[in-house]
Copies of this chain bind each other. A is one copy, B any other.
Amino acid sequence: MRYAKNRKAQTRARIVESASLSLRETGIQMSIVEIMRAAGLTHGGFYAHFESREALLGEVFETAMDQTLRWWRRLAAEGVPRPGIAKIVETYLHQDHRDNPARGCAVAAFVSDIRRQGPKSRRVFSLKLDEMTKEVAQQVAPPSSDLARQEAIAVITAMIGTLMLARAADCADLSDEILKAGLQAILGPGELPKSPGSPCGEK
Q: For residue A109, which residue of chain B has the nearest CB?
A: B112
Within 8 A of B (CB), among A108-128: 108-116, 119, 122-123, 125-126
Q: Chain B's nearest CB lies how many Å from the CB of A114?
A: 4
Instruction: Sort A-B residue pairs by CB-CB distance and give the 8 closest, nearest first.
Output: A161-B161, A154-B185, A122-B170, A157-B161, A153-B181, A114-B168, A157-B162, A160-B161
Binary interface profile of A, 155-178, with partner B (CB < 8 Å = 1, else 0)? 011111110110111110010011
Give the complex CA separation of A112 and B169 in angstroms: 11
Give the complex CA separation of A171 and B129 in angstroms: 12
Q: Chain B's nearest CB lies how many Å from the CB of A109?
A: 8
Give the complex CA separation of A169 and B117 in angstroms: 11
Q: For residue A113, which residue of chain B has the nearest CB?
A: B27
Give the complex CA separation of A157 and B170 in angstroms: 16
User: Across the interface, which residues of B come within 8 angstroms of A164, CB to CB?
Assistant: 111-112, 157, 160-161, 164
Tell me the dominant secondary structure on chain A's binding face.
helix
User: Across the interface, which residues of B come within 8 angstroms of A109, CB to CB?
Assistant: 112
Knowing A161-B164, A164-B112 are in contact, say whether A123-B178 is a contact too (CB < 8 A). Answer: no
Within 8 A of B (CB), among A71-122: 101, 107-116, 119, 122
Within 8 A of B (CB), among A43-74: none
In the complex, the answer to whether B181 meets A157 with C-beta atoms within 8 Å is: yes
Determine which residue in A107, A123, A157, A170 has the highest number of CB atoms from chain B within 10 A of its CB, and name it: A157
User: Across the interface, which residues of B come within 8 angstroms of A168, CB to CB?
Assistant: 111-112, 114-115, 122, 125-126, 129
Contact sample, A vs B, 24 pairs, CB 8 Å cutoff = A26-B116, A27-B112, A27-B116, A29-B29, A107-B165, A111-B164, A111-B168, A112-B112, A114-B168, A115-B168, A126-B168, A126-B170, A129-B168, A150-B181, A150-B185, A153-B165, A153-B181, A154-B185, A157-B164, A158-B158, A159-B161, A160-B165, A161-B162, A161-B164
Q: Chain B's nearest CB lies how many Å from the CB of A29?
A: 6
